[in-house]
Amino acid sequence: MANKNYDELAKQIVANVGGAENVISLVHCATRLRFRVADSSKVNKEKLKQTEHVITVVEAGGQIQVVIGNAVGDVYNTIIRVTNVKSGDEGGNDTEVKDKNLINLFMSTVSGIFAPTLGAMAGAGLLKGLLILCTTMGWLTKDMGTYRILFAAADGIFTFLPLFLAYTSAKKFNADLFVSVGIASALVYPNLTAAFSAKEALTFLGIPVVLVSYTSSVIPIILSVYVLSKLEKGLKKILPGVIKNIFTPLISLAVMVPATYLVIGPIADYAGKVLAGGYMTIVGVNPIIAGFVLGLIWPAAVMFGLHWGFVPIVINNITQYGRDTLFTITGPNNFAQAGATLGVFLKTKDKKVKDIAGPAAISAVLAGITEPAIYGITLKYKKPFFIGAFFSGIAGAITAAVGAGAPALLGTSLLTLTGYIGVGFTGFCVACAIAYIGSAICTYLFGFDDSMLLDDNKTTAAAVTEEVHDEFIKSPVGGSLIALSEVPDEVFASGTLGQGVAVIPDSGTIFAPCSGKVITAYPHAVGIRTNLGAEVFVHIGIDTVKLGGKYFELQVKDGDEVKDGDILIKADMESLKAEGYNVTTMVLVTNSRDYEEIVPSTSKQATAGDIVLNCISRK
């Protein structure tokens, strides 16, 4: 996603999820926008999937998940800036949504609380890994000031995690943000953490206090904020308006801090120990089988966006044992899917598939971001996905057998391997290598061939039109003709979006190059599906999406029937040029692979209505 201006993309996404009024809440994780909507029937999934820069759309865990990839943070921020969608859960209180599906309710709650913190925790985890490498290699020692300051940066987030979760939980449960953080601060207050370390006997109004270490804890503060949200709602109903703003926080703090220390905290701490102990027991009974099953099913969990639902278990494991093995066991899946995608990249001769597979494989192995690989390649062609899942299971079994783990929340990739230095590290590296190399080799040998592309194209074409036929496409504007390869934009020049031709226009009136139905209509670009099956896309200029419609007058809308020669767009070309924009206009056949050949005109000049493309169908 080379274009750093996502204004138009943000508006398209929000419009296709039913508009800002249909959005209850929006958060994002490492690669996905996670929408909680009021009415899922208003969501246009097919149009979302066809939107440029959207990898795919998944409905799971009670959410509409729009997979963007590495630029998800920028797209999220743009949505908040240019639309009426509110950040986090400010758009509404999910707890008030009458969702009877407990799994959906659990997933939306977990993602709402943890997703906003994942970037910071992942960065801190990676920094911990680098510090482990530095101390292992003897570059730093733990008593050095450099190490201590960097370790504070890496460990501070985890030590004071209750404060972060208090904030996100308050947004999720509609509780007072700063009272919630105040409760969390009381749980990690130095005087009381020291009392825990010294094993002091404390009482509150004569009631014995069971002291628990709340640093790095997860469950106690989440439950406390949930109870706080109910308490505040009750107080606001009974307190007079003149004292409500002062006495609600006063009573909330005076009640919730003791209640957490006396009741909520000890119960939640016990539940956390049971959860961690239960997980360790399951893995301990037969680590090889448990590891294989976890590794095998993990790609499916990633596919549906359910993997982040395990974050509370991971953090709880770190709190209880100082390390986690769950995300370590499932980590090699990133290498497995990367390897399967690499196998497709090496095997295919199709340039479009290579253009998708190459970056996706690199993203998965270097950054641990597997969604582009899964949705763009392995799941699309099925066999690579299952090969990757099998080797993920093999690697999971090895990882569980050697007992590898990590002291922080880490996404597994080449860049984060140092974070796993410790028990079982060598075995873990071997497992990742087997997952990567095994998936790549098996996919290359028998998991993929280009005949799958033909089957895929036929399936896609059948869903849209019965058959494509020979067809001529005309120039939408007069001007100089140049080959698509000469366009100064890599995406257009490479033919990734389809074969075609480009025109350096001599006027600003853009006509329909064919007859058919408008399937996409943007201020600067229009897509038309003809009655004979061609999908023709006219795009005015390079990076003109940044203008958000300025200097363009769109004359059609989605669903319109147009005839050859009808006006599509009126553009102020002189103003575009004055602002430094290249106005070269592309005419593409986006379903080029459905044709035997797309033959561009050899002329150097064209007038509007001249034939510039000959689409030759397979006989």
What are φ and ψ of residue 191, in 5° steps? -60, -40
What are φ and ψ of residue 17, in 5° steps? -95, 10
First to last CA, the chain: 37
Which residue pairs, CB below 8 angstroms and at least 24 apart, start in 344-350?
Answer: 344/377, 344/378, 344/381, 344/384, 344/443, 344/447, 344/448, 346/440, 346/444, 347/443, 347/444, 347/448, 347/449, 347/450, 348/448, 348/450, 348/453, 349/450, 350/450, 350/453, 350/593
Q: How far apart are CA 33 and CA 509, in angstroms?
A: 37
564: tokens are 């050859």
- Give the helix ranges, DSSP H, for 286-378: 287-303, 311-321, 326-330, 332-347, 351-367, 371-373
- Give the helix ranges, DSSP H, for 205-286: 219-238, 241-259, 265-285
182: tokens are 């105040």
What are φ and ψ of residue 561, in 5° steps? -90, 125
Q: Which of 28, 29, 442, 615 is catalytic?
A: 29
Q: How far apart are CA 274 and CA 277, in angstroms?
A: 5
Give the sign of the dihedral formed by CA 282, CA 287, CA 289, CA 294: positive
Torsion of Cα atoms, 256 then 259 then 265 then 266, to 10°: 180
Q: Which of 432, 524, 539, 615 is catalytic?
A: 539
Active site annotation includes 442: no
Measure Cα distances from 353 to 270, 457, 593 in Å: 51, 12, 11
Active site annotation includes 134: no
Measure Cα distances from 130 to 126, 349, 408, 419 in Å: 6, 39, 12, 7
**Which residues belong to the active site?**
29, 539
